[in-house]
Structures are given as structure tokens and as C-alpha cells.
């Protein structure tokens, strides 16, 4: 999803999906944040696709066990 930067009063807002995500006093900071936000969204989508590919290679029994073991959710920690 593309992030947009728009001027609202004396601030620059970063919009994602039409909703205000954050605002900045400096346009260049807002544009930099929008690019980071887009890259993060792309990275999350890439990880999701890779995880789906791995899960799709599992047998039915392995998938069922994984679902029961994780309660249907796997969390990924991001370490800076």
C-alpha cells in the first residue's frame, strides 16, 4: 500500500490507506518516514508470502499440529 504525504495546516501528514499515520513539521522527514513505512509494508508482505510457501509444503498432519501448537498464530520479533 502506498503512503502519501500531504500538507495539513502547518504539518505534513503521512497517510496510509487514506488514514493519517503520523505528522511532521518538515516535509523531508515526512517523505523519509513514508518511504520507510512502504518498505516495512513490503517486507512484511514478503515474510508472509515466504511463511505461506513453507506452510504449504507441510503435510496435513504437520499443518494441524503447527496450528494447534501456535493457536493459529506465529509472532515474529524484530530486533533493531
Sheet strands (E) in the chain? 3-8, 11-16, 19-24
* Contact status, residue 12 vs residue 27, Cβ threshold 8 Å: yes
Task: Give the residue-averaged pLDDT of 52-78.
Answer: 94
Grid cell listed for 13 = 501528514
CA 49 to chain centre: 12
What pLDDT was estimated at residue 13? 96
CA distance 76 to 44: 10
Q: Write out pLDDT tens, residues 2-58.
A: 899 999 999 999 998 889 999 999 999 999 999 999 999 999 999 999 999 999 999
Amino acid at each position: 500500500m502506498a503512503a502519501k504525504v500531504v500538507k495539513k495546516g502547518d504539518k505534513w501528514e503521512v497517510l496510509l490507506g487514506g488514514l493519517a499515520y503520523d505528522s511532521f513539521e518538515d516535509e523531508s522527514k515526512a517523505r523519509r518516514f513514508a518511504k520507510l513505512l512502504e518498505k516495512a509494508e513490503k517486507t512484511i508482505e514478503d515474510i508472509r508470502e515466504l511463511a505461506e510457501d513453507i506452510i504449504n509444503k507441510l503435510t496435513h498432519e504437520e499443518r494441524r499440529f503447527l496450528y494447534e501448537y501456535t493457536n493459529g498464530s506465529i509472532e515474529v520479533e524484530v530486533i533493531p
